[in-house]
Amino acid sequence: MSVVIDDKILQAAHISENELKQEIAILLFQSGKLSLGQSSELAGISQFQFQHLLASRSIPPHYDVADFKEDLDTLKRLDSQ
């Protein structure tokens, strides 16, 4: 699917196409509709860069106990290799 936004809208908002993609990605991430990976892909930047963008706006990443446990399991698995 493609969405076409007239250049006049971008000019009126004083925003580039890439900045608009980042704004949409942030909004969808904050609302829980996209994951970090999906949001960074939409924004056209790496996950690390997207996390930095979130931090610059004081937006916490979605990271719960289940994510923490999954990370611990991954670390244990990597350590045993």
User: Taking 90 as the threshold, does the pLDDT of residue 72 lie above it?
Assistant: no
Q: Is the dihedral of CA 30, 31, 37, 38 positive or negative?
A: negative
By CB neighbour count within 10 A (0-12 exposed, 13-18 middle, 19+ buried), where does 54 fall?
buried
**Residue 75 is encoded by which pair of tokens?**
């670390």
The domain segmentation of the chain, as residue ranges, is 7-79
Q: What is the pTM (predicted TM-score) of this model?
A: 0.74
CB of 59 within 8 A of CB of 30?
yes
pLDDT level of residue 23 (50, 70, 90 thresholds): very high
